[in-house]
């Protein structure tokens, strides 16, 4: 398995994984600090329900990071919400496996 090279992971993100909703609002898991590449670009994406929304930043992380839709992510000094995350597994092809996280 090929993964993203270390030299690409120039940023750090603090991920608070979404656990569900309670009577008092969203519930998040313990914060985890991960290395990533932050691509600050506004673009239209589809959320987990298939609706078209605007993403302000896309994060590329190493395989195995858990970051479901609704999670809170703090990167570059700002906190944002995950729209969707995608596992990019090349199935053995010589391309880097990674997790793509699109955020508001």
CA distance 83 to 69: 5
CATH homologous superfamily for 6-103? Bacteriophage SPP1 head-tail adaptor protein (2.40.10.270)
Please state the domain extents for the chain: 6-103
pLDDT digit string, tens, across residues 5-55: 889 999 999 999 999 999 999 999 999 999 999 999 999 998 878 899 999
Residue position matching structure tokens 């992510």:
73
Residues 35, 50: Cα–Cα separation, whole Å: 28
Please provide the distance, in angstroms rounded to a whole number, between the alpha carbons at the two ends of the chain: 30
List, in order, residues 6 or more apart from 83 with CB less than 8 Å away. 45, 47, 48, 53, 55, 69, 102, 103, 104
pTM of the model: 0.88
């Amino acid at each position: 398995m090929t993964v993203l090279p270390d030299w690409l992971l120039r940023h750090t993100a603090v991920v608070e994984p979404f656990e569900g909703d309670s009577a008092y609002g969203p519930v998040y898991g313990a914060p985890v600090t991960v290395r990533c590449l932050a691509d600050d670009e506004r673009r239209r994406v589809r959320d987990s329900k298939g609706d078209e929304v605007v993403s302000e930043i896309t994060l590329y992380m190493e395989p195995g990071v858990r970051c479901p839709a609704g999670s809170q992510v703090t990167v570059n000094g700002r906190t944002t919400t995950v729209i969707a995350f995608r596992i990019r597994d090349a199935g053995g092809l010589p391309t880097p496996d990674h997790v793509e996280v699109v955020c508001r």
